Amino acid sequence: MRTVSSRLTPDDLRLLVMKGARPAGPPPTRPAMRRLNGTLALPEGGAVEIDRVVTWHGTVAIAGQRHLVESRWAGRRVVLRLDGHLMHAIADQAPIGTWPCPMGADRLTRLQGVRTPATPLPPPPLPAGSLRV
Is residue 107 pLDDT above 90, yes or no?
Answer: no
Instruction: Enumerate domains of the chain plus CATH numbers.
Output: 31-108 (2.40.50)
Is residue 129 pLDDT above 70, yes or no?
Answer: no
Q: pTM value?
A: 0.64
pLDDT in tens, 24-54: 777 666 656 666 666 666 666 678 889 999 9
Q: CA–CA separation, 92 vs 101, rounded Å?
A: 21
Instruction: Please count the CA atoms within 13 angstroms of the CA of 79 that sit on its side-chain side.
Output: 19
Residue type, 112: Q
